[in-house]
Structure 1
Amino acid sequence: MRRTFLCLLICFGFLRPLGPAQAAGISFSALDASYTFADQMIFTAATAGDAAITQATLFFHAGSQPPYSRPADPFTPSSAVSLTVTIDLKETRLIPFSTVSYWWEVIDQSGQTARSDTQTFLYVDNRFAWQDFTSGPARVHWYEGDSGFGGAAANIAVEAIPGIQQQISVEPPSPLDVYLYASLDDLRSAVELAGREWLGGQARPELGVVLVAIPPDDSARLQMRRDIPHELTHLMSFVATTPNYDVLPRWLDEGLATLNEGDPNSTQVLAVQNALARNQLIPLASLCGAFPADASAALLAYGQSRSLVQHVINEYGSAGIQALLAAYRDGATCDGGVERALSISLIELELKWRTALQANTSSPDTLTPAASATAGIWPWVLLSAVIALPLIVALVWRFPQKPDKMAR
C-alpha cells in the first residue's frame, strides 16, 4: 500500500525522484573544467536532446561556499550544442585547496529540464608542479626537494597528531593535506591571489589544509618539526571550535600551537623572563584579540601564551583545555569562556599564572637559556666538593706550614 501510494504521488507530480532531474531524451557528455590558479576557470560540456536546447546554466561551489550560477556563453539553439562558461577568479574568489563541485542544467524547446551528474575536482595552486607523498592520513604536497623531503614531512605530521589530540580531542581532516611552499613569498602570494588577507604569517585554518613555507635545505627537518605541528594545531583548534573559531582567544590558539612545537623557543623564554623581572608582562586581556604588530612585543605575546597554556594544563589537565575549547565553540567571550571552563575569572587566571611563573623558576618555560644551561651543573659541583674535601684535609695535615711562614 505504501509503495503504491508513493508511486501515485510521483506520477501526479507531487514528489520528484531523488538524484539528477534527467529529462527523457536529454544527455550530457564531455564535462570538463580547467583553470589557472586565481586567474580564470573554464567549464565545458556537450548536451543533446530530441528537441532543441535553448537554455543552459552552470552551478558550482568550492568547499562550504554557497553555489554560484552562471548562464552558458551564447549558443545557437540546436538538438546538440557545446556549452562553455568562463569564470574570472579575480572577481569570483573560490576557496583555495578545496573541492569544487559543479553541474549543468539545461532546458529544451519543449520546456523539459535536465541536470547533469555532479562533477568534482581539487582547486589547488597549479602555478607549481606538485609532488605527492601519502603516509597514513597525511597527504603531503611539495614542488622543491626530493621524495625524502616529502616523506619526512608526512611522517612528522602523522607523529604530531596523537600529542595534539591529548589537548584537542578531535580528528583532523581526512585526508590531511599539507602543502610545503619553498619560500614565504610563494606562500604569501598564494594566499593573497586567492583573495585572503596576509596577516603576517597567521594561519588560515578555514582553508582546511596545512600551509607552511619550508625550503629543502639543511634546516628543513628542524623547521618541519616546529612548523607542521604548529599549523596542524591551528587546524584542529578550528575543527574543535567551529562555527565560532573567530571568538577563540588568540592566547589560547597560539599558546596551544606554540606548545606543540616541542622544545620552547629560547628567545621567547628570555623575553618572558625579562618582562617578568621588569614587571612588563602583557595583560592577559590584551592577548584575547590580535597580537601586537611590533616584533618584540609579538615575541613576548607568543612566549606568554605558551607559558599560560602550559600553566592551564598543569593545573587543570587536558580536560581544562577541552572545556575552554567547548566554551568558545559555543560562542563564549574571552572572559566568559574562562569562567565557564575553569570556574575563575580571566584576571584570577592571570594572577595564578604570574604567581606560578615567579615561583617555578626551574621550569624550562620560565628559565632563561643561561639558567637552563647551568641548572644541572650544581649537583655535580657539590658532589665533587664532598669527594675532594677529605683529600684536601689530608694534604694539609701531612704538610703543616712552618712557623716562620705562618708568621708571615
Structure 2
Amino acid sequence: MANKQADSGIAVLDSSVEVHFPIALVFTIEAESETDIVDARLHYQVDKMNYAQVTSEGWPDFAPATRVETSWVWDMRKSSLPPGAAISYWWTMRDTAGNKFETPPAEVHFDDGRYDWQSLNKSDLTFFWYEGDDSFARELIDACEQGLARLKPISHCEAHSDEAISKPIRIYIYASAGDL
C-alpha cells in the first residue's frame, strides 16, 4: 500500500507484513502528516470461530514526528497461531491536529514457507503436505470427508458448528512433530 491519503492530512506511504513462521509476524507502517503523528495502532482479527468477533490491538513504539516508520511484532512464542491462519488487519493513526486515518483492511496468512508444500482439494477441504505422494493425501482427505459426514447430523447441538462445517477447511500435514 502506498500514497493512501484521506482528507485527514495523514498519508500512508507504505504498509507491509512479514511472516517469520513459526516465530513472528512483523507489521510495519510508514506515514507522514503536516503535524506530528502521535498515535499508531495495529488492529487485527484472527479468522476463527468465536461467539463474538474479537479485535485485538498492537501498539508499536515510535517517537512522534511528521514522518514515522514503525513496526509491531506479534511474538508467536507468547501466543501462537496454526499454520495457514488468516489474519485481517488495519492501522489507525492520529496526529497532533486531531486528524485521524484508518487504512483499509488487509489480510495475511501465517503460512509456513520452510517446506515445498503440495496441495489437494476436495469439496471444501484442502490438504497441504510436503512428504509423501498423492495417494497418501487422497487417503487422508477421504478419511476427513467421512468424519465430517458423520459430524453433520449431530452438529445442530453446537451454536456455530453448521457455520464451521460450511467454511472451507485447510489441513496442514507435517512429517513429524519436530518439523512443526
Please state if 1:48 is matched with 2:32.
yes
Residue pair 2:17, 2:27 contacting (<8 A) in 1 also: yes
> Per-residue displacement from partner, 1:365-387 (whole Å, max 9, x unpaired)?
xxxxxxxxxxxxxxxxxxxxxxx
Shift in Å at residue 152 of structure 1?
4.0
Residue pair 1:137, 1:158 contacting (<8 A) in 2 also: no
Matches within 5 A, 1:4-403: 23-62=7-46, 63=48, 64=50, 66-75=54-63, 77-78=65-66, 80-91=67-78, 93-97=79-83, 98-168=85-155, 171=162, 172-183=165-176, 185-186=177-178, 190=180
Count of matched residue positions in the alignment of Structure 1 and Structure 2: 164
Q: Distance in 2 between matches of 1:38 and 1:51?
A: 38
Q: Distance in 2 between matches of 1:60 and 1:94?
A: 14
Q: TM-score of the superposition, structure 2-length normalised?
A: 0.72
Tell me the amino acid that sits aligned with residue 182 of structure 1.
A
Shift in Å at residue 160 of structure 1?
4.4
Q: Distance in 2 between matches of 1:69 and 1:81?
A: 19
**Higher helix proportion (structure 1 or 2):** 1
> Per-residue displacement from partner, 1:28-78 (whole Å, max 9, x unpaired)?
343221232342221112223343423212222434584332322324502
Return 5+ residue gaps in structure 1 as ranges. 1-21, 191-408
Q: Distance in 2 between matches of 1:179 and 1:47?
A: 37
Q: Distance in 1 between matches of 2:17 and 2:130?
A: 23
RMSD: 2.9
Return 5+ residue gaps in structure 2 as ranges. 1-5
Q: 1:142 to 1:81 in 2, by over 3 A?
A: same
Which structure is richer in relative contact order (CA contacts within 8 A, separation 6 or more)? 2
Residue pair 2:19, 2:25 contacting (<8 A) in 1 also: yes
Residue pair 2:9, 2:99 contacting (<8 A) in 1 also: no
Q: TM-score of the superposition, structure 1-length normalised?
A: 0.35
**Higher strand proportion (structure 1 or 2):** 2
Q: Distance in 2 between matches of 1:60 and 1:166?
A: 34
Shift in Å at residue 175 of structure 1?
0.6
Q: 1:89 to 1:163 in 2, by over 3 A?
A: closer
Q: Secondary structure at the match of 1:110?
A: coil
Shift in Å at residue 137 of structure 1?
0.7
